Amino acid sequence: QVHLVESGGGFLQAGGSLRLSCAASGRTENNPAMGWFRQAPGKEREFVAAISWSGRLTFYSDSVKGRATIARDNEKKTSMLQMSSLKPEDTAVYYCAAESLNSLTDRMTPNDFNSWGRGTPVTVSA
């Protein structure tokens, strides 16, 4: 299994930007596909973005498309998520995921990934 640790986030203002990082360790020799999900209070965990092992393919949910960029550095075993034009509805705990069990699409679900980080909270104030 892949061990994931997220960092970044915190308290941000609407219209601002955020940068999250995810450090991977453990079974990373195959550079597994990685993704980001988020879970707002009282809501289900939802897909944000995903990136293929090579970094050439990226996928985004409709809610962040055009505002988010996912990237990875296979040498450093990290994944990054940048988002701009933040909205209060972006407030959530953001989770890093790895080892997709299915082909990547823009409609991934939590069941599509095998490894998870503990999450990092992001709060966007109006």
Q: Which two tokens stand for residue 61?
A: 């949910």
Assess contact for 109 and 5: CB atoms under 8 A: no
Q: In this predicted structure, what is the pLDDT of residue 98? A: 95
With cut-offs at 50, 70 and 90, classify the pLDDT of residue 113. very high
| Beta bridge pairs of residue 4 | 24
Q: In this predicted structure, what is the pLDDT of residue 28? A: 82
108, with CB counted inside 10 A (0-12, 13-18, 19+), is: buried
